[in-house]
Structure 1
Amino acid sequence: MTQTLSRVLDASLKLAVTLSCGAALAALSLGSAVAAAEGPAKARAPAEPVIAGGKPQRLIVNPTEDPSRGFAVTWRMEAGAGKGLVEYAEATPGPAFEDAVQTVMADSEVIQYVPRNGPPVSAIAHSAVIDGLKPETLYVYRVGDGRAFSAWRQVRTAAASAKPFTFLYFGDVQNEVESHGSRVMRMARRLAPEAALALYAGDLINRSDADREWAEWFDMAPDLHAELLTLPSPGNHEYGPPVDGRQPLAPQWRQQFTLPRNGPAGVSALSETVYQVDYQGVRFLSLDADAISDSPELADATLKWLEARLTDNPNVWTVVFLHYPIFSTAKGRDNAELRAALEPVLQKHGVDLVLQGHDHTYARGRKGGPVYVVSVAGPKQYVGGDREWASRKATGVQLFQAISVDGGELTYKAYTATGALYDAFRLSKLARGKPARLIDLAPKSAELDLKRAP
């Protein structure tokens, strides 16, 4: 397929040169008066052929259950595009990889609906899982429909065993996603260029089915989403108004993400919102906080699944991420029922780090085992409430976190949108199941507490 496309491109290039050289003659034949009025003829680039479906949009890579052997790719194309496909190969220093390209056909879904906010949506969603890959290997890939393709992108598979790596964590972006959120994403890539994963703790956008907001989310960080394995957990703003007594998940969630389907067995409502990923010595567990809070049945299924995944865990480190905080940080908020359900389980099984959002402030503290963090990446900020449990806190500031794991050490750094280090600590432990020792590395700067109202 690659050689065929190359021949087509060569032919197009020859045609472009011919048209460019003959531009003046063509103008005279169409009307000498017009040509004279415009002055000397100018060489013009040939018009590009119209391709149904346009170029791929909203490209993202997600992890599979075993990210050392594969990755998942999801994208969207306009209505009228052909069947989706992914071309991939082991990366080479030059273009030689094109001679070894393999192709995987995507699963496709026609999207047609009228959101509550915005114009009707008509498109085609594509997703594909690339598996059978080599561990710890850099791959190139591109997506398209055989006529239009994305640029070649690169993604590295995980090592097959524990090995140092860095991941990013973002609290709520939610509002003014592209205009304000994008600078946080750019700073994160600048300060942690080696990061392999990106975690989102919910409220990626503001209105669950507002398609233009989802477009902003992808445009906010196109390079990050296309080359870092992205692990999102849903927030309450990914859920719409109740229908038949239950809030529906935004249709875009499963159309735009291809996440591991290893959540509670037989519970379709939690598919691709509750999931597990093991990556180089760390077990990551995404919980659907909204589902736990709104449905006793879903809460029970989640807790049983969580117990099982924490009990059967060979990794040294465990990171849980969800939207609603176990310990709230904003004025007038408290998730008492969620805390009563989850905190004993997290303590019992020695979870190391719990990453959360929702409260649009920053706080970090330790309560009986795990270190709890609440953070916000977007511009919407709340006034801080009761945060006596927190050893570090802030309001009125956008942050992101770069977290590095190296054997028995986990180093956490929280940066502001301007790149200033605001908070840092290190967890150190000898083996799985042993309590980690916390070393506070926070700079001695004054508290960031700007008291910006919601």
Structure 2
Amino acid sequence: MEFRLVVLILLVLTMGVAAEYIRPPPRKMIHFPWKPKPSSYPQQVHISLAGDKHMRISWITSDKHAPSIVEYGTSPRNYSFKAQGESTSYSYLLYSSGLIHQTVIGPLEHGTLYFYRCGGKGTELQLKTPPSQFPVTFAVAGDLGQTGWTKSTLDHIDQCRYDVHLLPGDLSYADYIQHRWDTFGELVQPLASARPWMVTQGNHEKENVPLIIDSFRSYNSRWKMPYEESGSSSNLYYSFDVAGVHVIMLGSYTDYDQYSDQYSWLKSDLSMVDRERTPWLLALFHAPWYNSNEAHQGEGDDMMAAMEPLLHAASVDVIFAGHVHAYERSKRVYNGKVDHCGAVHITIGDGGNGEGLARKYLDPQPDWSVFREASFGHGEFKVLNSTHAFWSWHRNDDDEPVKSDEIWITSLLGSGCVAAKSHELRKILLEP
């Protein structure tokens, strides 16, 4: 009997070892061969939401006199509408950008396929507007970069039938080398021109040169988000609605204390949220507040001390962050402890960057941490109705997307927390 028990234990241990995931090696930066195009040819096209029923189309041309016009319609090569936008450019030491065009189109119908052309030239592109009601699906991946693993992540996201892509910071990893912003725009165009990409800044977007170049010059010029439409004074923080979801994009690298413009804007934004109309409330920023990886320990603590009480009182359902090059999902947590009315925190800074994975975790694993793994991948957040959503994380396993973590999440509205904390929220919102 004892012999059989020993054999059984050895068999279980052997199976466990055999099933352990062996991470593939890092991959190099993608090489982009130079392909000459006419100077007025639209390049690096990406789209983003721009208020109710409107979309912002962004692209770049080498021709500094190219028009910022977008023609669009609901059938191929039949453009019933035309919109005129604006353009800008920037210089960065010895680099000069092309002409950056920003054109808002609309009003658009929800859940509709549109065909469009930028600047009166170039290839006809297609975009799909998000639905007006549930279900709605978000693809989530941060810290992308431009490596072979980035390409795999993008390929896997392309297989997902998502409506909006959420990116919690660190886009191109240009790191002062400005032409890498151009290659990143080229890399993501197939996806970013077809579905809205909603991004916030990471530390790699700073690119400041003291006394010469302000922070975020390249990022703000190229990736304009709907900050004005949401009453914000900065492109580094804003909000938007999709179907029944209100999404708040916050800035980890701009002032966030209780006397800052960002904090004042956040209070104002939350005061206008109607949980009957948008039952789900999400937040994104770059530096995680709950992180059991050895990498970047404590870097989000100051922002957490300032803003977590407000987001908790507002009953934020899920908070996405990047920065740490690994994946981690928490239980509902607040003030460092498991709290059934707290937010689920998900760190997903594993899109494919060239700096590699953050492989070391703290031991023992905190009570609030449920699942953690240092692998590249992406997430999918499918909101089925006002009370239930399905989250899944898909590891890049030798170029195949493998679903490695999944969970059903009940909204805080559905669990009664929103009503229970309404008095707490009103008290904070009324504070000077």
Opposite residue 85 of structure 2, the aligned amino acid is: A
Matched, 1:59 2:45: yes
Task: Tell me what 1:374 maps to.
Answer: 347
Task: Tell me the distance in 2 between the aligned counterparts of 1:178 and 1:56.
Answer: 24
For residues 212-270 of structure 1, what are the alpha-carbon distances to aligned partners after superposition, in whole Å with 9 as ceiling and x for unaligned? 221232233221100011100101111123646x99333222322232124785x64x2
Q: What is the CA deviation profile of residues 264-283 of structure 1, one whole-angstrom value per residue up to 9, with x for unaligned ones?
A: 85x64x2x221111111111
Match of residue 143, structure 2, among 161, 169, 172 = 172
Counterpart selection for 2:279 from 316, 324, 328: 316
- For the residue of structure 1 that corresponds to 2:309, the secondary structure is helix
Q: Which residue, 232, 235, 239 being the options, matches 2:206?
A: 239
Contact 1:277 1:285 (C-alpha < 8 Å) held by counterparts: yes
Is the aligned partner of 1:398 residue 2:376? yes
Q: Does 1:416 align with 2:407?
A: no
Which position in structure 2 is the counterpart of 1:152? 124
Paired position in structure 1 for 2:180: 213
Question: Contact 1:281 / 1:317 at 8 angstroms: preserved in 2?
Answer: yes
Q: How does 1:420-431 map to 2 (within 5 A)?
A: 420-429=402-411, 431=413
Q: Is the contact made by 2:329 and 2:346 (CA closer than 8 Å) also made in structure 1?
A: yes
1:131, CA displacement in angstroms? Answer: 1.6
Question: Matches of 2:220 and 2:346 in 1, distance apart?
Answer: 27
Q: Which residue in 2 is equivalent to 1:445?
A: none
**1:230 alignment counterpart:** 197
User: 1:136, CA displacement in angstroms?
Assistant: 2.9
CA distance in structure 1 between the partners assigned to 2:213 and 2:293 by the alignment? 24
Distance 1:276 1:59 in 2: 22
Residue 258 of structure 1 aligns to which amino acid in structure 2? K
Cα distance between partner residues in 1 of 2:149 and 2:216: 23
Q: Aligned pairs, how many?
A: 363
The answer to whether structure 1 residue 187 and structure 2 residue 187 are counterparts is no
Deviations 1:307-347 (A, max 9, x none): 43557773111110110111123316112212212221222
In structure 2, which of residues 279, 287, 291 is the aligned counterpart of residue 328 of structure 1?
Answer: 291
Q: TM-score normalized by structure 2?
A: 0.76
Give the match for residue 108 of structure 1: 87
SS in 2 for 1:289: coil
Aligned match for 2:320, one of 324, 339, 355: 355
User: Paired residue for 2:170, among 194, 203, 207?
Assistant: 203
Aligned-pair CA distance for 1:409: 1.4
* Residue aligning to 2:111: 136
Q: Which runs of 4+ in 1 moved over 6 A?
A: none
Find the aligned partners of 1:285 and 1:166 in 2 and give their Cα distance.
Answer: 16
1 CA distance for matches of 2:51 and 2:192?
18
Distance 2:37 2:330 in 1: 54
Structure 1 SS opposite 2:220:
helix
Tell me, which stretches of 5 or more residues in structure 2 are unaligned? 1-35, 334-338, 419-432
5 Å-filtered alignment, 1:68-147, equals 69-91=53-75, 95=76, 98=78, 100-109=79-88, 111-115=89-93, 120-144=95-119, 146=120
Q: 2:227 aligns with which of 234, 257, 261?
A: 261
Larger RCO (CA under 8 A, 6+ residues apart)? 2
CA 1:320–1:309: 2 relative to 1, 3 Å:
farther
Shift in Å, 1:352 = 0.8
2:203 and 2:411 mapped to 1: Cα distance? Answer: 35
Cα distance in 2 for residues equivalent to 1:56 and 1:141: 12
Counterparts of 1:210 and 1:310, CA distance in 2: 40
User: Does the residue aligned with 1:359 lie in a helix, a strand or coil?
Assistant: coil
Residues 429-449 of structure 1: CA deviation (Å, up to 9, x unaligned): 49467349xxxxxxxxxxxxx
Shift of the 217–313 alpha-carbon distance from structure 1 to 2, 3 Å rule, reads: farther
User: SS at the partner of 1:189?
Assistant: helix
Task: Supply the distance in 1 between the matched residues of 2:240 and 2:202 (Cα, whole angstroms).
Answer: 19
Distance 1:239 1:337, change over 3 A: same
- Native 8 Å contact 1:292 1:302 kept in 2: no
Q: What's the C-alpha RMSD, in Å, of the aligned pairs?
A: 2.8
Alpha-carbon distance in structure 1 between the residues aligned to 2:51 and 2:373: 35
Alignment-mate amino acid for residue 212 of structure 1 = H
> Counterpart of 1:38?
none
Q: Shift of the alpha carbon at 1:294?
A: 8.8
Preserved contact between residue 170 and residue 202 of structure 2 (Cα < 8 Å): yes
Equivalent residue for 1:344, pick from 309, 320, 340: 309
The answer to which structure has the higher helix fraction is 1
Asked if structure 1 preserves the Cα contact closer than 8 Å seen for 2:60 and 2:98, the reply is yes
One-letter code aligned to 1:400? H
Whether 2:264 is the aligned partner of 1:301: answer yes
Deviation at 1:55, TM superposition (A): 1.6
Given the superposition, is the C-alpha separation of residues 51 and 81 from structure 1 closer, same or farther in structure 2, using an over 3 Å criterion?
farther
Quote the Cα distance in structure 1 between the aligned partners of 2:213 and 2:256.
11
Asked whether 1:284 is paired with 2:256, we answer: no
> Quick one: distance in 2 between partners of 1:364 and 1:213?
31
Contact 2:115 2:127 in 1 (8 A): yes
- CA 1:371/1:263 → structure 2, altered by over 3 Å: closer, same or farther? farther
Q: 1:307 to 1:391 in 2, by over 3 A?
A: same
What amino acid is aligned across from residue 427 of structure 1 in structure 2?
A: I
Paired residue type of 1:384: K
Give the number of the structure whose alpha-carbon radius of gyration is greater.
Answer: 1
TM-score for both structures, normalised by structure 1: 0.73
Preserved CA contact (<8 Å) 2:329 2:347: yes
Amino acid at match of 2:352: G
1:167–1:199 contact (8 Å) kept in structure 2 = yes
